[in-house]
Structure 1
Amino acid sequence: MLEFNRRVLAQAEDPATPALERLRFLCIVSSNLDEFFEVRVASLLAQHRMEGAGPVPPELVATIERAAAECRALIERQYALLNQDILPTLAGEGIQLLNRSARNPAQRAWVKQFFDKEVRPLLTPVGLDPAHPFPRVINKSLNFIVELSGKDAFGRGTGIAIMKAPRVLPRVIRLPDELSSTPGASYCLLSSVIQAHIAELFTGREVLSCSQFRVTRNSDLWVDEEEVKNLRQALQGELHGRQYGFAVRLEVGRTCLPHLADFLLEQFGIDRSRLFIADGPVNMVRLLEIVNGPAKPALKYPPFVPGFPAKLGSRDIFTLLDKQDVLLHHPFQSFQPVIDFIHSAALDPNVAAIKQTVYRAGMNSELMESLIGAALRGKEVTVIVELMARFDEEANINWAERLEQAGAQVVYGVVGLKTHAKMALVMRREAGGLRKYAHLGTGNYNPATARHYTDFGLLTADAAVTDEVNEVFLHLTSMTRPRQLSSLWLAPFSLHKELLRAIRNEAAIARDGGRGHIIAKMNSLTDETVIRALYAASGDGVKIDLIVRGACALRPGVPGLSENIRVRSIVGRFLEHSRVYYFRNNLAHDVYLSSADWMNRNLFRRVEVAFPVRAPALKRRVIREGLQPYLKDNVNAWDLGADGQYRRRKPRAKQARYSAQLVLAELLGNPGT
């Protein structure tokens, strides 16, 4: 994950990236690092805590310290880039983030008034003593530690106060345009406003120092699914506690004095190796408010409107699917047809039942509202809601409650497994009886992420596929073992086995003198058995091209092991999220799309589906759009070397620049936008 974040940070370092998009990439790195500590580092520490007594083992200490050191180097690059390059560039374009000394007299007066009216009434500094213990600090919240001189109102000499920044206040504040002497937008941080007027809160005492700080806590929810009687109720009880999990990281401002940082580390029980100095806001993610604010067009990527397949137009979706499958490639093509598919099913009097999986739907979802509407109209609606989708638990619980109130059948998947498959099934009464229609995808049923993540979706009425989709739903609701599937590869039952079979088949073809070729695109590749099979296939002469966005435990190009394997990662405007598996198979050109990465957790600890693309024209589209452009990319591509290091691909002399995402946007996007 840290290696991937270096590649994301490189997008922010690239002067060819528009200035506000560079800031966005900085914010993405910060958000990713938050999750790294909340989940990855926290899980290592939590495992030790569960195992019981004694100090943290030296090998675990070394692992965490090494990760923390790598994070520290990343963070130092982040703030140096922010302060020395991106903010000055934005200031030159009329977007200013003003600290106390940079604000003009009119702006300082406005900030003072804002502090007095909007901020000060909500502040509650706590001077520490036996009757005022150290307050509970919420995960990733903005706080201040203040050192004071003199005695308090009762003649005691307590010298430290802690103050929380109210969560209802904006962290980035836009100053009135008329106060600036230059055109553009001026902002200031809430932390700067508070620190400029902190002394007013401690009448009769001198503020010796003041620093912002932020604590990152363990945010991984855990419930014993085999013991609890109602998973939803158990999770509801755990959600509040997430804000107060054990502390794993402390961030302080660069002005924080060492003894105050030591005091905070002691209070939170954090090792010094996990102390980080922020040369700016302790939560850089908040700067997204500037990214999303008004700006010159040149400071952002050009507007992009996804295309809408002409064949859909105003035609009835079920009539169209009766004749042909429809392939959608997001975000280059609109997600609206998927919403329309479920919405049409909800309104169609001939539709008897709708079944769907929900992993990350978001807080507001037209699609989920359609399912609720279908249930209210008396249709049989079954929804498999994954309550353990990390950081989406609350939204999913809310949807589950509303669906149940509308009369839908809601279940929460399989105990011990996350339901990660993306499937929707519609059963419609037609002349020949009930006809099944399905949507299967590589990404979530979330229109917001569908605008920023690359994913494929397939709409089909192919009975060979839809009958098996129904079998998977029956498995998830009844807990019976699914019957033998011939079209779908289902984890944790057959997906791993079928992957190995397909890889070994290419190896057998190559050994017999044929041409073996595998191309696969995914987020992560870490499963040892799959990697060993790929190494063996490479040794047999199979050409293997892997497009792996994030973690990759395979080493390509190693003599005697992986000479025929090439690995690259694409990092660009959109988050690469689709999973595509291609096997040449003696010109059968087998193409599968899937929700699953080639990781142990996806193959054995989740319910995942890989589904075939059967229509020859659609196979060609997947290869032409989902694989080949990424193998040609010389703008956003990073090639993994045999030494485990990624190197950014650059166009050779006189070679034209080729960005896969830009090519696909021009090919599939709405023309003239």
Structure 2
Amino acid sequence: MTSPKINNETYINRELSWIDFNKRVLELATEEETPLLEKIKFSSIFSNNLDEFFMVRVASLKSQVEGGISKRSQDGKSPEEQLIGIRNYLDPILKTQQYKTKQYIEDDFKKEDIFILEYKELNERQKVWINNYFTTAIFPILTPLAVDPSHPFPFISNLSLNLAAIIVDSESDKEQFTRIKIPGESISRFISIPIELHDNESTKYTGIAIEQIIANNLSMLFPGMSVKEYSFFRVTRDADLELRDLEADDLMSALEEGLRKRRKGGEVVRLEVSTNTPKVILDLLQEGMNIDKENLYQIEGLLALDELIELTNFNLPKLKFREHQGVTHNSLKNSQLREQEELDTRSNSNFKSIFSIIRRSDLLVHHPYNLFSTSVEEFINQAAEDKQVMGIKMTLYRISKDSLIIDALIRAAEKGKQVMALVELKARFDEDNNIQWAKQLEQAGVHVVYGVIGLKTHTKIALIIRKEKNRLRTYFHIGTGNYNSKTSKTYTDFGLLSCQPELGQDLIELFNYLTGFAKQQSYRKLLVAPVTLRSGIEKLIKREINYAKNGLPAKIIAKMNSLVDPEIIKLLYIASQEGVKIELIIRGMCCLYPQKKGLSENIKVTSIIGRFLEHSRIFWFNNDGDAEVFIGSADWMRRNLDRRVEAVTPIEENKIKKEIKHLLDSYLEANQDSWNMQSDGSYTKNQILNDKKKYIQEKIIKLYKKEEN
């Protein structure tokens, strides 16, 4: 069969596909059944996602245009055409967000006795309180910057919220342009006003945006002047770090310098202004920052909607999803060392070390349904304390700021164990955090490395070497998500805890590749990028094609964040045409057209977006009834397959394979928070309005709670 060509008929533009994903996030913010504060949260996430999209993807396209680079995308579009397409597709989505967010704040909040007021809505007592607050807590840290022949247009830092004003000298009538940066790190965006000052006795919260306070107290900043006009604005700059392949010491210093530059930002890629911005101010902003119409976004209502996340901290449970608390994996209930130490009854309890549990059988932990603290963190904690543990090796990609895993690694090093941590300094937007952790680990005696030159280390692996009966045994964790206690509560991820000898040996050799000069080209069971993962996945797909050609049942189920790689897409098209049934569960970008006549009639694509971020990657191949199942950290994207270090592990215990298959089937049966991709690339939301509703994440919560009981 002729391999399909990759063009605009067979490949969806990845930038537009990403916007489609973020549009689905926003749909959760507009769903009637979504609790009010969760609507605000999803709107905030939408904006935060969009900021990163502009800082990286749009910035890259603009750089190509400005550099005269005419490289076309896989679907045949030039950089200019992609930028136009992004703008045209995004504009109506932004209008929806602005309209709905304004409705939530101005109408729906008030029905719940929550008041986010504008200055003009304040009563006299509130105005007195706010003006005093401005004088004591805001005024001293503001710095108005004038723009005139002796004061050039000031640098506007990335993602900062600003006020621009035209002020008039009362004596000479001379007009002058000034800019004030709204303080964003030292003061909250929304200032809480004592509820006893509100006229409504049932008030639960009263607040006001900080920019409203500043705008209505400008006279204090400009004594002897009058304020003619003012408006708010915000800029987004190119924030992608381009780094040469450097040795570790040079890489760290280069990153630190790059981060200093990022805080300021590169070229402006977007200017956001209030819709009511006076023309004189708009002209001065566009001229001062050299912004054309294509990069100007006029916003109805509040700017910087990512900061709405502050408003979700209200203690109002009925306006949120029902609180979720994960459970300890059934097999680990009697293996919590920290609990035993607190009770000081370890010698008289049923305590079993986590290593003895893993020796009995492999464990699959599923976050956030299984607690990260009582599984993965406990695994590393016990390794740090166990006298028989000789060494610990880990990869660290995105780490929480209060990481107990870091604490455990430091304790292990202090106890004389051999501890190695690969800290990926180039984890985008986490570089600064990772640099600080790397320095702290090194000071504690941990051997810190930064990975393979030219590759980003994205794999999530931890290896424990333990001495047992005069020999060494390896225990390990291979996961789909980061060693991050914070995201483990909101991202769905799998992790395998095991001591299988062959996988353990693979991991030893993989760590040798990461820390030394070993050029490992083959592994026993692991699929490792950039060495064997692409060829391994292609081989598994081709095997299903051969089964189909021979008249045998052939099926693939794959769950991932993104499907972008053109070679994998071509192979999936071929598989579909040969009769392989393919079901894809893809949260984000999908550049494949499903169910397209003559191309992909046997491929179905589902997207699940809910209260938790679907982050796990699972690959299931029917294999003539003897299913092979894999989990790991890699999506089917070029960067994961060719430019990152990734590890995908087989799941070999039948009990766990059945558990995963049951979960995959449940995902495919979901009819809420679920979208089906159509043959033209658009998405249709599943919406069952009767008692047959199936929320997959709620179903899994109930499943694990039932198992606990």
Corresponding residue to 1:310 among 330, 342, 351: 330
CA contact (8 A) 1:127 1:158 kept: no
Q: Which residue matches 2:37?
A: 20
CA contact (8 A) 1:581 1:593 kept: yes
Q: Which residue matches 2:313?
A: 292
How far off its partner does 1:386 sit?
Answer: 0.6
Q: Which residue matches 2:7?
A: none
Q: Which residue matches 2:195?
A: 177
How far off its partner does 1:615 sit?
Answer: 0.6
Instruction: Please give the per-residue CA displacement for 1:612-659, whole angstroms capped at 9, x wherever unaligned.
Output: 11110011111112x11110000111000001110001227x660011
Distance in 2 between the 1:51 and 1:60 partners? Answer: 10
| Residue ranges of structure 1 left out of the alignment (5+ in a row) | none
Q: Which residue matches 2:53?
A: 36
How far off its partner does 1:671 sit?
Answer: 8.4
CA contact (8 A) 1:308 1:333 kept: yes
CA contact (8 A) 1:304 1:669 kept: no
Distance in 2 between the 1:156 and 1:255 partners? Answer: 24
Give matches, 1:587-606, under 5 Å.
587-606=625-644
Corresponding residue to 1:647 among 678, 684, 700: 684
Q: In the superposition, relative to structure 1, how do residues 672 and 340 fare at CA in structure 2: closer, same or farther (>3 Å)?
A: closer
How far off its partner does 1:150 sit?
Answer: 3.5
How far off its partner does 1:665 sit?
Answer: 0.8
How far off its partner does 1:466 sit?
Answer: 1.1
Alignment partner of 1:160 is 2:177: yes
Distance in 2 between the 1:377 and 1:262 partners? Answer: 64
Distance in 1 between the 2:170 and 2:120 partners? Answer: 30
Alignment partner of 1:250 is 2:286: no
Corresponding residue to 2:701 among 661, 665, 669: 665
Distance in 1 between the 2:394 and 2:235 partners? Answer: 38
Distance in 2 between the 1:354 and 1:289 partners? Answer: 38
How far off its partner does 1:464 sit?
Answer: 1.4
CA contact (8 A) 2:247 2:453 kept: no
Q: Which residue matches 1:319?
A: 356
Corresponding residue to 1:472 among 497, 510, 515: 510
CA contact (8 A) 2:522 2:531 kept: no
How far off its partner does 1:205 sit?
Answer: 2.2
- Aligned to 1:447, the other structure's residue is in SS state coil
How far off its partner does 1:269 sit?
Answer: 2.3
CA contact (8 A) 2:147 2:153 kept: yes
Q: Which residue matches 1:104?
A: 123
CA contact (8 A) 2:64 2:79 kept: no
Distance in 1 between the 2:312 and 2:376 partners? Answer: 29
How far off its partner does 1:46 sit?
Answer: 3.0
| Residue ranges of structure 2 left out of the alignment (5+ in a row) | 1-17, 71-76, 335-351
Q: Which residue matches 2:670?
A: 633
Aligned residues: 664
Corresponding residue to 1:361 among 396, 399, 418: 399
Instruction: Please give the per-residue CA displacement for 1:324-377, whole angstroms capped at 9, x wherever unaligned.
Output: 111101111111110010011011111111000000012220111111111121
- Aligned to 1:603, the other structure's residue is in SS state helix
Q: Which residue matches 1:427?
A: 465
How far off its partner does 1:61 sit?
Answer: 3.0
Amino acid at match of 2:260: H
Distance in 2 between the 1:541 and 1:59 partners? Answer: 35
The range that moved more, 212-221 or 121-130, is: 121-130
Q: Which residue matches 1:115?
A: 134
Give matches, 1:194-343, under 5 Å.
194-226=214-246, 230-244=250-264, 245-295=266-316, 297-314=317-334, 315-336=352-373, 337-343=375-381
How far off its partner does 1:86 sit?
Answer: 5.3
Give matches, 1:555-634, under 5 Å.
555-625=593-663, 627-634=664-671
The range that moved more, 567-576 or 121-130, is: 121-130
CA contact (8 A) 2:673 2:686 kept: yes
CA contact (8 A) 1:248 1:274 kept: yes
Amino acid at match of 2:28: Q
- Aligned to 1:72, the other structure's residue is in SS state helix
Instruction: Please give the per-residue CA displacement for 1:384-422, whole angstroms capped at 9, x wherever unaligned.
Output: 111000010011101111111111111111111110000
Distance in 2 between the 1:530 and 1:665 partners? Answer: 33
Distance in 1 between the 2:394 and 2:67 partners? Answer: 36
- Aligned to 1:510, the other structure's residue is in SS state helix
CA contact (8 A) 2:148 2:176 kept: no
TM-score (normalizing by structure 2): 0.91
Q: Percent identity?
A: 38
Amino acid at match of 2:193: L
- Aligned to 2:623, the other structure's residue is in SS state coil
Q: Which residue matches 1:344?
A: 382
Q: In the superposition, relative to structure 1, how do residues 157 and 52 fare at CA in structure 2: closer, same or farther (>3 Å)?
A: farther
Distance in 1 between the 2:497 and 2:247 partners? Answer: 39
Amino acid at match of 2:82: T
Distance in 2 between the 1:64 and 1:243 partners? Answer: 25
CA contact (8 A) 2:330 2:708 kept: no
CA contact (8 A) 2:521 2:532 kept: no
Instruction: Please give the per-residue CA displacement for 1:253-297, whole angstroms capped at 9, x wherever unaligned.
Output: 2221123222212222222111112222211111111111222x2
How far off its partner does 1:200 sit?
Answer: 2.9
- Aligned to 1:149, the other structure's residue is in SS state strand
Distance in 2 between the 1:438 and 1:257 partners? Answer: 61
Q: Which residue matches 2:84?
A: 65
How far off its partner does 1:218 sit?
Answer: 1.0
Distance in 2 between the 1:514 and 1:305 partners? Answer: 44
Distance in 2 between the 1:87 and 1:620 partners? Answer: 49
Amino acid at match of 1:535: Y
Amino acid at match of 2:510: V
- Aligned to 2:331, the other structure's residue is in SS state coil
Q: In the superposition, relative to structure 1, how do residues 547 and 172 fare at CA in structure 2: closer, same or farther (>3 Å)?
A: same
How far off its partner does 1:157 sit?
Answer: 3.0
Q: In the superposition, relative to structure 1, how do residues 330 and 52 fare at CA in structure 2: closer, same or farther (>3 Å)?
A: closer
Q: In the superposition, relative to structure 1, how do residues 62 and 151 fare at CA in structure 2: closer, same or farther (>3 Å)?
A: farther
Distance in 2 between the 1:469 and 1:49 partners? Answer: 45
Q: In the superposition, relative to structure 1, how do residues 508 and 333 fare at CA in structure 2: closer, same or farther (>3 Å)?
A: same
Alignment partner of 1:9 is 2:59: no
Amino acid at match of 2:214: I
Distance in 1 between the 2:708 and 2:455 partners? Answer: 45
